[in-house]
Structure 1
């Protein structure tokens, strides 16, 4: 009887969680579809000219879409390079004491509020600007570094877990056949858990897409057009949504924020599907099913 009651409680809570998720998505769809249009994205600018970057868009959200994609790509590149290397070191090369200390540091980093990371990089840019680099200001590059630091713990822990979960006989087989530890890592272990490694990238991707506190302090602005370089200020969808939803003059502007939120969800979905396709392709190529 108790087992059935526990099962019923779990079932109800699971359905409740699913209901909340679909309610939220449905609400965003309902409010967002009402205002989404090419005019919202490009305003009066010719669509082809805007896509080919022949003409700048200032009133539409096209620069925010481009800025968001650039921000995601740069932050994932930075976080993957350092996070992947750190995860490999922790799983393969670190001794027990070093592993405990470094894991504690990354766990501490993952618990730091994003607003503090944004504030740290803002103060860092001010210090560098005043003391060393007069042209170093809040920019797309600075935001990417801040977001990379924010999402790095996800990639580190996922990489470490993926490598640690490989069966022991798989780890030892190629070593007994004469491969070095480094060749064993890159020729056997990483291909074996490539799907799990890529799933960590998606976790970081989701966090990089939605964070506003970091970018509002490190370079994102309401209207500047497409960034001319990674050292320029830029527009981003999360900041646009925040700015419009806190400064809207009428319901039409608020609905535009919902439309931007819907576009951000679509971007996240497309990137998620691309990640899944890459996962499947990597598995087929490596021959691990």
Structure 2
């Protein structure tokens, strides 16, 4: 009797917690849309520049957030280009090769790294920039590349731990079938374990992508500026939506400028949603390709 009552109480509390979570999210979204909807115009993105000219890179956009949107995309792609291969390789090593005290030590290290505040990673990126600047006699300064490396190191523990957990939770029967038929360890990993855990691995990739898209502390110390235009190379400074929102919210001069900050936040939210949908589509396609090749 007490067991059933406890079970029902837990179920009711779970439903209440879920309802409060969804209600809070809807409230925040409603507030954001209410404050920023009026500023969602073409001029917010392109300013006085003709949109086609901006998209074809014929003219620079100086009074719109188009460079910040492009810079954010470059930042996400560059960070994930570094983090995904290293993170998945690290997760495979932790799950399939690392054993004993070394595994316990590395597990502790990755757990600690996952909890490091982003401002600490930003300061580490700034120190790296200072070191490279002195080593190469001022040729390397804060730039897109340093920001990508710093963000990749920030999200790397998530991808490593997610990949490790996904591989370690594969059904033991599935894990042992291929070696029993004569497959090597590498063949078992690439042809059996990874295809069966790709969905769980991509959950870490999705989390890392969202973290790269919204982080401000790292990029403000390693290369993001207010008016840089489109970056011409990975060694240039750049604009980014998170930094733009932070800059506007801390130094706005009137309600119209603050509304532009809310509008930029809506665009960042839509950008993250688009990246999430794209990642889920890639995940599904990869699962089909790997399982039925």
If the length of structure 2 is used for normalisation, what is the TM-score? 0.95
Alpha-carbon deviations, 1:67-114, whole Å to 9, x = none?
000000000111112111110000011112211111111111111111
After TM superposition, list the pairs within 5 Å mapping 1:253-268 onto structure 2.
Answer: 253-268=257-272
In structure 2, what is the Cα distance between the partners aligned to 1:181 and 1:15? 46
CA deviation after TM superposition for structure 1 residue 3, in Å: 4.4
Contact 1:59 1:223 in 2 (8 A): no
Unaligned runs of 5+ in 1: none
Equivalent residue, structure 1, for 2:110: 106
Equivalent residue, structure 2, for 1:244: 248
In structure 2, what is the Cα distance between the partners aligned to 1:5 and 1:166? 33
Contact 1:72 1:144 in 2 (8 A): yes
Aligned residues: 288
Equivalent residue, structure 2, for 1:49: 53
CA deviation after TM superposition for structure 1 residue 285, in Å: 2.5
Higher mean C-alpha deviation, range 239-248 or range 175-184: 175-184
Relative to structure 1, the CA distance from residue 168 to residue 238 in structure 2 (aligned partners, 3 Å threshold; closer, same or farther) is: same
Higher mean C-alpha deviation, range 21-30 or range 158-167: 21-30
CA deviation after TM superposition for structure 1 residue 282, in Å: 2.1
Q: Secondary structure at the match of 1:187?
A: helix
In structure 1, what is the Cα distance between the partners aligned to 2:177 and 2:189? 12
Unaligned runs of 5+ in 2: none
Contact 1:88 1:160 in 2 (8 A): yes
CA deviation after TM superposition for structure 1 residue 197, in Å: 1.5
In structure 1, what is the Cα distance between the partners aligned to 2:137 and 2:194? 40
Question: Which residue, out of 176, 194, 206, partners 1:172?
Answer: 176
In structure 1, what is the Cα distance between the partners aligned to 2:273 and 2:91? 26
Q: Is 2:26 the partner of 1:16?
A: no
Equivalent residue, structure 2, for 1:235: 239
After TM superposition, list the pairs within 5 Å mapping 1:206-217 onto structure 2.
Answer: 206-217=210-221
Alpha-carbon deviations, 1:142-187, whole Å to 9, x = none?
0001100100011001100110111111111111111110111111
In structure 2, what is the Cα distance between the partners aligned to 1:216 and 1:21? 27
Contact 1:71 1:140 in 2 (8 A): yes
Equivalent residue, structure 2, for 1:201: 205
If the length of structure 1 is used for normalisation, what is the TM-score? 0.96
Equivalent residue, structure 2, for 1:181: 185
In structure 1, what is the Cα distance between the partners aligned to 2:116 and 2:211? 14
Contact 2:144 2:235 in 1 (8 A): yes
Q: Secondary structure at the match of 1:137?
A: coil
In structure 2, what is the Cα distance between the partners aligned to 1:147 and 1:245? 23
Equivalent residue, structure 2, for 1:134: 138
Q: Secondary structure at the match of 2:147?
A: helix
Equivalent residue, structure 2, for 1:158: 162
